[in-house]
Each structure stands twice: as C-alpha cells, then as structure tokens.
C-alpha cells in the first residue's frame, strides 16, 4: 500500500508540531522517520494511523483520502516503545486478540486462529513461548511478540514508534537486523520512528530527516549521509569537522570565505603539510579500540578535530598523544559559502 502525505499541518495550541509536511511512500518500502526529540515524528505517525487529526492537508492510502476512514478500518498494525502486552493473557492469547475481536462475520474459526498464531510465532522465531505470560519474556522477545500481534490482522501498513527504544544496545542491534530481514520477507509498507541515526542508516530503504515540524531531506541512507541537504542533516547523521578556507581560483566564489564540512574518516593525517587546506593540530586523545582508530586533535586556534584512521594507518604513522600532525580533507561532505 502506498501512502501520500500531502501538506499536513498540525498545531498544539500555539505550537506547530507539523508544518505543511509532504511525503510519498511507495508500496513495500521500509521508511525511517529520523529526527531529534520534538521534531514531530510521532505526531506524523499518529496522523497517518488516524489516531490524531491534522488541521490541514491530507493522508492518502493508495491514492484514496483517509479522512472518513476510521482507525480500525485503516488496516494498520502498530508497535510502540512500551506497547504493553496484556499481562494477564498468554503470548498465544495476546496475538490472537486482534482476530477474536473481529466482527462475527469476519472472525476466523478457533482452528484458523490457532494456525495463524503459530504461523506468526514461527515468523518471529518464538514458537516455543506460546504458553508463557509477558512477564516471563525478555524485553526483546516482548517486542517481537508485539510485532506478531500487530501482524495478526494482516495490516497493509506497519507503524513502529521507537520499537526498540527501551532495549539495551546489544538486543537493539540484533532486533534491527532482524527487522530488516523480516521486512525483506514480508514487504509490508513500514514506517518506523527513531532518533537513532545508526538504526535508521542500517535498517531503512529511505530515511526521512525531520527537524522542527518540517522535513529536511528524504533519501536513501547513502544519500542523506554522503550528500546531506543541509547543515542540520549533516550534523544529525554523524560527526563532522569544520574547515575555514578562502578560495581564490574557483569561479563565482573568488575570494569568498567558505566553510567546509568533513567527516572524521575523510581526513588524511600526515606528518607534513599536504596542501593549502592542511591544518596543523596536536593529538589530544587516541582510542584504538574498534575497527577504526579514533583521534582527537587540537589546532592552534583551539578547534578540536575528530579523525578516524584505519588500524594500519595508525600503526604506520606511529601516532602518539601530543604529536603535531597535519589534517587534510580528502572529501568535503558539505560546503557553505554564505557565511
């Protein structure tokens, strides 16, 4: 099912939570709504779900306006950060719930429900917990059951609000890879809200970066990371260093100051100056634990640069704290002229 968000505005009192937001989601896409706290992600998700109404704009499901469609008729599955499963019901009954409350003429038989619930439990790889109660599950297992419950009604759209937000880092990582594979199998149009850029970059087909009730950029993870549309996107998607330069030879920008933004792994570290853009800095910190070696270096002007070099480069350069080095941009991720 495709979704079209067309100039949606939502205010709470004086506050504009969404400001003419437009977005096109294709059938079967896995979309991350990414942004800082208060940027409007949840509000947008709730409006798409029909749990909240917009003052202006439209939400179209497969080209049809949803204004008259009630929440229960939208065929949407939800999973929230703290989506409390029914504590007094077994896992089996939790998943079966959405099927049991269907109107009589649509309700499956007991045998069909049993088959469906076990099919979903197998899908989330938890067939062995059917008779347990939620309290007897780990946080990660509970979220997978919440997902199975959301899928029971065969939704055409899946909406997930920080589904792994309350879990510890390791479980989060496992579940996000699991969600990716899971989506690859089922291809349900899925929107998930997150403020974690790593999660969005790793899981989504497309990332929608939000800031203050507006969309800053929509693009593939690669796009938003390597070709950010604004300084906000640039900063939100990872660490970045600023270089100041005055370009003489470039057409149209002759002599104008410019600010170049460079990601930590796109800096070359050398013992000698490599170009006019090289900045001299003293190493203040080295962290070799990880796939890349992380280095902090301070320029004479007091700016701190964050650098990442490979383990091999680090060994070759024999870098140590307090060493003076030169930092030269290999690739500039973003450039500002009007400063």
Question: Shortest gap between Cβ of 140 and ligand ATP (angstroms)?
Answer: 21
**Cβ neighbours for 194, distance < 8 A, ≥ 6 positions apart:** 32, 33, 34, 162, 165, 200
- The Cα 8–Cα 310 span in angstroms is 45
Q: Which of 31, 35, 113, 126 binds ligand ATP (CB under 6 A)?
A: 35
- The Cα 165–Cα 150 span in angstroms is 17
Which CB, 214 or 298, lies closer to ligand ATP?
A: 214
Which CB, 96 or 167, lies closer to ligand ATP?
A: 167
Which CB, 42 or 217, lies closer to ligand ATP?
A: 42
Question: Shortest gap between Cβ of 17 and ligand ATP (angstroms)?
Answer: 4
Assess 37 for contact with ligand ATP (CB under 6 A). yes
Pairing of strands 292-299, 304-310: antiparallel
Assess 74 for contact with ligand ATP (CB under 6 A). no
| Residues from 207 through 236 that contact ligand ATP (CB under 6 A) | none
Which CB, 57 or 108, lies closer to ligand ATP?
A: 57
Which CB, 7 or 280, lies closer to ligand ATP?
A: 7
- The Cα 296–Cα 304 span in angstroms is 7
Which residue do the tokens 């510890």 mark? 168
- At residue 279, the 3 state secondary structure works out as strand
| Residues from 192 through 211 that contact ligand ATP (CB under 6 A) | 195
Assess 337 for contact with ligand ATP (CB under 6 A). no
Question: Shortest gap between Cβ of 28 and ligand ATP (angstroms)?
Answer: 24
| Residues from 4 through 23 that contact ligand ATP (CB under 6 A) | 12, 15, 17
Pairing of strands 76-80, 157-161: parallel
Assess 40 for contact with ligand ATP (CB under 6 A). yes
Q: Which of 2, 6, 19, 38 binds ligand ATP (CB under 6 A)?
A: 38
Residue 204 vs residues 33, 158, 305: alpha-carbon distances, Å:
9, 14, 30
169 φ, ψ to 5°?
-55, -45
Question: Shortest gap between Cβ of 218 and ligand ATP (angstroms)?
Answer: 16
For 211-265, the DSSP string reads ETTEEEEEE-HHHHHHS-SSHHHHHHTS--EEEEEE-SSSTT-TT-EEEEEE-GG
Which CB, 13 or 290, lies closer to ligand ATP?
A: 13
Q: Which of 39, 94, 217, 241 binds ligand ATP (CB under 6 A)?
A: 39
83 φ, ψ to 5°?
-80, 90
In DSSP terms, 191 is beta-bridged to: 31, 159
Assess 301 for contact with ligand ATP (CB under 6 A). no
Assess 41 for contact with ligand ATP (CB under 6 A). yes
* Window contacting ligand ATP (CB under 6 A); options: 31-39, 140-148, 220-228, 309-317: 31-39
Which CB, 218 or 262, lies closer to ligand ATP?
A: 218
Question: Shortest gap between Cβ of 209 and ligand ATP (angstroms)?
Answer: 11
Q: How many residues bind ligand ATP (CB under 6 A)?
A: 12
How far does CA 222 lie from the centroid of its chain? 13
Q: Is 326 left (phi over 0), alpha (psi -120 to 50) or beta?
A: beta
Assess 291 for contact with ligand ATP (CB under 6 A). no
Helix axis angle for 91-100 and 139-151, nearest 10°, is 20
Total length of the chain: 339
Assess 43 for contact with ligand ATP (CB under 6 A). yes
* Binding residues vs ligand ATP (CB under 6 A): 12, 15, 17, 35, 37-43, 195
């Amino acid at each position: 099912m495709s979704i079209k968000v067309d100039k949606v505005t939502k205010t709470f009192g004086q506050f504009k939570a969404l400001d003419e937001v437009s977005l096109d989601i294709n059938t079967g896409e896995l979309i991350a709504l990414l942004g800082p706290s208060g940027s409007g992600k949840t509000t947008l998700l709730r409006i798409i779900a029909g749990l909240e109404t917009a003052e202006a704009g439209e939400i179209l499901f497969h080209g049809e306006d949803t204004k008259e469609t009630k929440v229960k008729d939208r065929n949407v599955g939800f999973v929230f950060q703290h989506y409390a499963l029914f504590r007094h019901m077994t896992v089996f009954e939790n998943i079966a719930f959405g099927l049991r409350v269907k109107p009589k003429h649509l309700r499956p038989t007991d045998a069909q429900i049993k088959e469906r619930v076990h099919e979903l439990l197998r899908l989330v790889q938890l067939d062995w917990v059917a008779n347990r109660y939620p309290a007897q599950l780990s946080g990660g297992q509970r979220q997978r059951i919440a997902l199975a419950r959301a899928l029971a009604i065969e939704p055409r759209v899946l909406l997930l609000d920080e589904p792994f937000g309350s879990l510890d880092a390791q479980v989060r990582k496992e579940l996000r890879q699991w969600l990716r594979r899971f989506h690859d199998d089922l291809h349900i149009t899925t929107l998930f809200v997150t403020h974690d850029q790593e999660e969005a970059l790793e899981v989504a087909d497309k990332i929608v970066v939000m800031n203050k009730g507006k969309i800053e950029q929509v693009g593939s993870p690669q796009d938003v990371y390597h070709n950010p549309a604004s300084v906000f996107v640039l900063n939100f998607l990872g660490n970045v260093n600023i270089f100041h330069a005055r370009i003489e030879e470039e057409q149209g920008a002759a002599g104008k100051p410019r600010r170049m933004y460079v990601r930590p792994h796109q800096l070359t570290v050398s013992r000698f100056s490599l170009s006019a853009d090289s900045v001299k800095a003293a190493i203040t910190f080295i962290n070799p634990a990880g796939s890349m070696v992380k280095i902090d270096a301070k320029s004479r002007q007091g700016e701190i640069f964050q650098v990442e070099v490979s383990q091999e480069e680090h060994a070759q350069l024999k870098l140590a704290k307090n060493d003076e080095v030169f930092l030269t941009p290999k690739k500039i991720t973003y450039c500002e002229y009007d400063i």
